[in-house]
Amino acid sequence: MEKAKFSPEDGIKIQTEHLNNWKKVLQPEVYEALHEYALRDNSKATDGYQICRGSSLSCYVENYMLGHRK
């Protein structure tokens, strides 16, 4: 049985959902930084696993809070 593909579009749908959740709880400045970080490499993704989402977004927020952002 062939494994279903996880396309970049599938990943972006999940990313959008996760970003919408973060938008509800973050200050606008922090959300804008997260949004820019999350979408930065979307156009280069060859599958959905390369789309920044989930714990990658959480780690960014934590690093932002700790002052370790790029």
Task: Quote the pLDDT of residue 34.
Answer: 98
DSSP at 45 = -
User: Do the domain assignments include residue 39?
Assistant: yes
Q: Is 14 helix (H, G, I), strand (E, B) or coil?
A: helix
Residues 3-52: tens digit of each pLDDT? 679 999 999 999 999 999 999 999 999 999 999 999 999 999 999 999 99
As for how many domains the chain has, the answer is 1
User: Do the domain assignments include residue 2?
Assistant: no
User: Do the domain assignments include residue 3?
Assistant: no
User: Do the domain assignments include residue 1?
Assistant: no
Task: Quote the pLDDT of residue 1.
Answer: 62
Q: Which domain holds residue 20?
A: 8-66
Taking CA atoms, 8 is separated from 27, 37, 46, in Å, by: 28, 16, 6
User: Do the domain assignments include residue 36?
Assistant: yes
